[in-house]
């Protein structure tokens, strides 16, 4: 027992004094230590609790500024070599307090309230609200066939995600067009508003919000999402009484743009400081739950990867930089702004790793890169498997880092995805939904990958 502790101490000591000399064999030991310390200390999990206690982090909300300051202070306390804020111009959208939806002009159902919430960026309804009949459609194709019935009424996009798909992100991707573009498509035919069935894998009544788009040449109409149980109720009610009407009142609105910040901190490379390995995730969230899995866990993974390296007193060869992007939920504006900065410096970003798929058990890394680089990364699997990473393959990386140009590898962290859409963008996305061991394995996996790239390059 004593001997192994002593050899461990020697090992850690040797990591701390060497710069860029660690052999790939020594790396196995270091990786084991990263995993053990992450699971044992649970520092990221306690950080996540603090972050969640601030509350949800809607862009430009006071919580979002508190979260920026919280992250900046933590990075300084962790002993990062540099910590700074990068200004980002952001839109300001506020939900307001009134979100009402009820059935009217119905024998059976008048007065029945339905659980809705406005989509991000939606206009409000004005003080009088809006009302109309409801045209139920499956998709844009069916909307087109029913276009003559739409004028003066609501369009209800009633398509859930495909429960038969194994990959929940793919199922989400195929259902989300109605949420993003539904208001544009319905307004083309004179709709007064849009209702979208909540896109989730859970069968509950919690509405899941998200961004919508408007088109400047088409009138803007209010858009809401409705909980699944009430969506079922509404579909059945309309079958019984096709002429029933809905009344919706929203007080959301957009204000002038303002300034927010990306939070950036780094451990400077001891041998090649101008070569950067970026680790990041967005710090903003929707104003639902506390944005625990989306994307509190990505914030923690990114910060803790660097903190773990500091905890083991390791000096990376290349710079490892943590970037917490502001405004991913509003079209990745922080990612775009960071890329502007990256293009203007002398530094070379050799790789970027993003965590924005929740804090569940690690599975793999999905990489945008040439095949020879992916083959090189696959050689790291024996180390990454210590943190439950099974695969590295070609695929999409992440919304924020996909904006980066001139990077050899853009890498998305992929945890298990079966429960992510249960909580995504909704009041279900709370701290209690995150498991400490699953979260901590993610921090360790990202720390190991960042260090491997920092030591051995690509």
Where do contacts with Zn ion occur on this chain (CB under 5 A)?
294-295, 356
Residue (260 or 295) nearer to Zn ion, CB: 295
Q: How is residue 363 written in tokens?
A: 């599975």
Residue (72 or 424) nearer to Zn ion, CB: 424
| Cβ-based burial of 3 (10 A; exposed 0-12, middle 13-18, buried ≥19) | exposed
Closest among 167, 223, 169, 220 to 197, alpha carbons compared: 223
Alpha carbons 458 and 385: distance in angstroms, whole number: 19
**DSSP notation for 76-142:** HHTT-SEEEEEEEEEEEEE--S-EEEEEES-TTTTT-B--EEEPBT-----TT-EEEEEEEESSHHH
Q: How far is the CB of 433 from Zn ion (least distance, A)?
A: 14
Q: How far is the CB of 328 from Zn ion (least distance, A)?
A: 6
Alpha carbons 148 and 154: distance in angstroms, whole number: 13
Q: How far is the CB of 403 from Zn ion (least distance, A)?
A: 14
Q: What share of the chain is helix, strand, coil (3-state, %, to 5)?
A: 40, 25, 35
Residue (132 or 210) nearer to Zn ion, CB: 210
Residue (178 or 295) nearer to Zn ion, CB: 295
Torsion of CA 357, 363, 369, 373, to 10 degrees: 150
Alpha carbons 11 and 16: distance in angstroms, whole number: 9
Beta-strand (E) ranges in 326-378? Answer: 348-354, 362-368
Q: How far is the CB of 160 from Zn ion (least distance, A)?
A: 21
Residue (376 or 427) nearer to Zn ion, CB: 427
Residue (266 or 356) nearer to Zn ion, CB: 356
Q: How far is the CB of 250 from Zn ion (least distance, A)?
A: 24
Q: How far is the CB of 393 from Zn ion (least distance, A)?
A: 21
């Amino acid at each position: 027992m004593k001997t192994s502790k002593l050899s461990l101490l020697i090992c850690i000591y040797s990591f701390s004094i060497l710069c860029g000399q660690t052999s790939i064999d020594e790396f196995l030991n270091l990786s084991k230590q990263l995993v053990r310390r992450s699971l044992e200390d649970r520092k990221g999990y306690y950080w996540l609790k603090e972050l969640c206690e601030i509350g949800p982090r809607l862009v430009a909300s006071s919580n979002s500024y508190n979260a920026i300051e919280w992250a900046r202070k933590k990075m300084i306390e962790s002993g990062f070599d540099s910590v700074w804020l990068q200004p980002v111009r952001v839109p300001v959208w506020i939900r307001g307090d009134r979100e009402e939806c009820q059935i009217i002009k119905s024998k059976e159902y008048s007065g029945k309230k339905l659980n809705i919430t406005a989509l991000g960026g939606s206009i409000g309804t004005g003080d009088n609200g809006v009302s109309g009949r409801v045209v139920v459609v499956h998709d844009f194709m069916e909307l087109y066939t029913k276009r003559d019935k739409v004028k003066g009424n609501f369009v209800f996009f009633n398509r859930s995600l495909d429960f038969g798909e194994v990959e929940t992100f793919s199922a989400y991707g195929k259902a989300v067009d109605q949420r993003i573009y539904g208001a544009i498509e319905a307004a083309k035919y004179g709709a007064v508003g849009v209702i979208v069935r909540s896109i989730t894998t859970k069968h509950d009544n919690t509405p899941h919000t998200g961004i919508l788009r408007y088109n400047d040449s088409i009138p803007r109409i209010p858009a809401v999402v409705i909980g699944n149980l009430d969506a079922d109720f509404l579909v059945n009610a309309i079958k019984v009484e096709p002429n029933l009407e809905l009344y919706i009142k929203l007080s959301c609105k957009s204000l002038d743009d303002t300034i927010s910040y990306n939070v950036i901190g780094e451990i400077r490379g001891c041998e090649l400081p101008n070569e950067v390995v970026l680790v990041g995730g967005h710090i903003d969230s929707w104003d639902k739950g506390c944005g625990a899995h989306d994307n509190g866990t990505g914030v923690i993974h990114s910060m803790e990867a660097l903190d773990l390296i500091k905890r083991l007193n390791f000096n990376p060869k290349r710079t490892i930089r943590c970037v917490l992007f502001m405004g991913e939920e509003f079209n990745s504006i922080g990612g775009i702004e960071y890329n502007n900065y990256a293009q203007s410096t002398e530094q070379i970003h050799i790789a970027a790793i993003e965590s924005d798929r929740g804090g569940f058990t690690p599975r793999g890394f999905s990489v945008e890169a040439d095949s020879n680089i992916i083959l090189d990364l696959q050689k790291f699997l024996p180390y990454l498997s210590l943190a439950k990473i099974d695969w590295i393959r070609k695929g999409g990386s992440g919304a924020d880092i996909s904006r980066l140009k001139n990077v050899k590898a853009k890498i998305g962290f992929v945890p298990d995805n079966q429960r992510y859409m249960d909580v995504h963008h909704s009041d279900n996305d709370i701290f209690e939904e995150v498991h400490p061991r699953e979260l901590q394995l993610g921090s360790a996996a990202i720390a190991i990958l960042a260090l491997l790239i920092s030591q051995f390059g690509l």
